[in-house]
Amino acid sequence: MQSNKTLPEKRIKATVRRLTLCLVVSLAVPQLANAEYNLPSLGDTSSSIMSPEQEHQLGRAWLSMLRGAVPTLDDPLLKNFVESHVYSLAETSQLDDRRLSFVLIDSPQLNAFAAPGGVIGVNGGLFLNAYTEAEFASVMAHELAHLSQRHFARNLQQQERMRIPMMTAMLAGVILAAAGGGDAGIAALASTQAAVIQEQRRFSRQNEQEADRIGLTNLERAGYDPEAMPDMFERLAQKSRFSRKPPEFLLTHPVTQSRIADSRNRADQLKSGGQKDSVEYQMMRARVQLHHEQSPGLAAQRFRILLDEHDGDHAAARYGLVLALTRSGQYAEAAEVLEPLLASQGNNVTVNLAAVELDIYRGELEQALTRVDRLLQINPDNYPLQEAKADILLRARHYTEAEKVINRLAAQRDSDPDVWYLTAEIRGLAGNIIGVHTARAEYFMLAGDLDQASEQLGLAATRAADDYVQSARIQARQQYLAEQRAIIENL
Ligand SMILES: [Zn+2]
């Protein structure tokens, strides 16, 4: 969905960028490696190092720092796909604590990671490099295994003697991976530390083998074809042979011949015949491909060629073509290409939201709203549908109704900065000034700008001085903010 990118956001993004630079600069300061690591004292077993609760809090704080440092994808369909995909993999995994948080990083570089406290991160580049849903699942299953085996806590135990700020090193690794070759500034700044960081971020070979082994078993249990893991490893190995600078993911996860052979042998012993791919995954891939294409026109050409090669029988190419045509203003053709998809998958949310996007571009807001309302009757809690409804109502200037919809969504997704961003915008237009400040505060807290969050809470508190209930709620958030600050300062 196209959100209204207005000036205030540019200001916010600029602030966030400055924060990034501070962070990277401070990482390059050598004495930071000796900084006091304010964590509970280490015991004999991994569980006494850090309780799952502490890990969860640390993960949340770390995630907000990361969000302040890298560009993220705010595409509700992609976010929703990754979340439900990983939650369903988690069901068959050995993961005990299934409170997961997600971040989608806007980068074509291949990377995926799991951080302590259940933080799952995916670069858009994973969609580009994983050709099937099963390949995508094999990477996520590997990362979930790092979490379920609590490799971080165990690693921390080993590193305690060296006092290495592992989380900070990992943050830098993820930022580097997001920047890839693209952001020369960040890459150059961090390059002095890159080698050291790389070493700190890397799990032991034993940990990696365990993550492969457990991930593979989970892959099969979740109903996927286990051969997808060695298949993907093989392709990545071939690819990296021709690139001078392999992506970060391959540096921390080298696809050696023995790793490929190991996973192939194990996969062969497991039950074959599981799921390989899905149309839904391919439609998500098409969204990412379109996002990284130079222009919608160029993307349309590519999707058209793919569709023609399959005599019109390729749902994802058709879907990508519809989006590309819509975004390049060729509405009549977009509607025509979309027709067979709507006819065959009339209740599919992704397909219907393509129709909604087309209607929005054509200014047919009422038609878009009717369609979204029909689908919401079938899927009342669907995130992309609810956000689309709020967006349509906003465009139609029905601000009070839009606020109702977005407030409900914000309550459901209270740790999603994109939802809070839209909430602030809608509340502003609906004239709810205290609501604007509290929504902005939530946004800034989640996006790693605690000073701005504090300022917004202060403004809200002044306005709400006569309202006992609101004041109490704002005070509770100020308390939470102070706790977040303490965690981050100790990182
Ligand atoms: Zn790994």
Structure tokens given for 293: 């294409």
Q: Give me ligand 1 centre to Cα 126, in Å.
A: 14
Tell me the CA–centroid distance for residue 341 and ligand 1, in Å: 38
**pLDDT tens-place string over residues 331-342:** 999 999 999 999
Q: In Å, how far from its chain's centre is CA 223?
A: 24
Q: What is the pLDDT of residue 9?
A: 43
The tens digit of pLDDT for each residue in 385-423 reads 999 999 999 999 999 999 999 999 999 999 999 999 999
- pLDDT of residue 3 exceeding 80: no
Q: In what order do the strands lie in the sheet with 119-123?
A: 101-105, 119-123, 112-115
Convert the pLDDT of each residue in 238-288 to its tens digit. 877 776 666 767 777 878 888 899 999 999 999 878 999 999 999 999 999
How far is ligand 1, taken at its centre, from the CA of residue 442, in Å? 32
Q: DSSP labels for 122-153?
A: EEHHHHHH--SHHHHHHHHHHHHHHHHTTHHH
Q: Which one of 133, 212, 231, 449 is the catalytic residue?
A: 212
Instruction: Find the mean pLDDT for residues 420-434.
Output: 98
Mean pLDDT of 68-81: 95
Is 143 among the residues known to form the active site? yes
Distance 448 CA to ligand 1 centre (A): 26
Whole-number Å distance, alpha carbon 404 to ligand 1 midpoint, is: 42
Of the residues 55, 75, 135, 143, only one is catalytic, namely 143
- Alpha carbon 2 to its chain centroid, in Å, reads 18
State the distance from the centre of ligand 1 to the C-alpha of 444, rounded, in angstroms: 31
Distances (CA, A) of 445 to 56, 58, 417, 455: 16, 14, 8, 11
CA distance 397 to 459: 26
Q: Rounded mean pLDDT of the chain?
A: 84
Instruction: Compute the distance from residue 146 Cα to the ligand 1 centre, in Å.
Output: 7
How far is C-alpha 349 from the geometric centre of its chain's CA atoms? 20
d(CA 485, CA 99): 22
Ligand 1 centroid–CA 208 distance in Å is: 5
Distance 143 CA to ligand 1 centre (A): 6
Cα(486)–Cα(491) distance, rounded to whole angstroms? 9
Q: What is the dihedral of CA 30, 36, 41, 47, to 10 degrees?
A: -50
Output the CA 163–ligand 1 centroid distance in Å.
22
- pLDDT in the model for residue 96: 86
User: Cα separation of 175 and 197, whole Å?
Assistant: 11
Q: Which residue has the higher pLDDT, 247 or 309?
A: 309
Hey, what amino acid is at 188?
A
Element of type H or E holding 112: strand 112-115
Count of residues in the chain = 491
Q: Is 324 left (phi over 0), alpha (psi -120 to 50) or beta?
A: alpha
Q: What was the pLDDT predicted at 200?
A: 52
Q: Please, are residues 82 and 122 in contact by the beta-carbon 8 Å criterion?
A: yes
Per-domain residue ranges of the chain: 7-269, 401-491
The answer, yes or no, to whether residue 26 has pLDDT greater than 70, is no
Predicted pLDDT at 272 = 78
pLDDT at residue 157, as a whole number = 59
Query: Would the pLDDT of 178 be above 60?
Result: yes
User: What is the 198 CA–ligand 1 centroid distance (Å)?
Assistant: 13
Q: Name 39's Cβ contacts closer than 8 Å, sequence gap at least 6.
A: 49, 50, 156, 490
- What integer pLDDT is reported at residue 19 of this predicted model? 42
For residue 16, CA distances in Å to 44, 46, 75 come to 40, 35, 19
Expressed in angstroms and rounded, the spacing between residue 112 Cα and the centre of ligand 1 is 9
In whole angstroms, what separates CA 471 from the centre of its chain? 33
**Mind listing the pLDDT tens digit for each residue in 60-72?**
888 998 999 899 9
- Provide the pLDDT confidence category of residue 53 given band limits of 50, 70 and 90: confident
Catalytic status, residue 212: yes
Per-residue tokens: 284? 């998500």
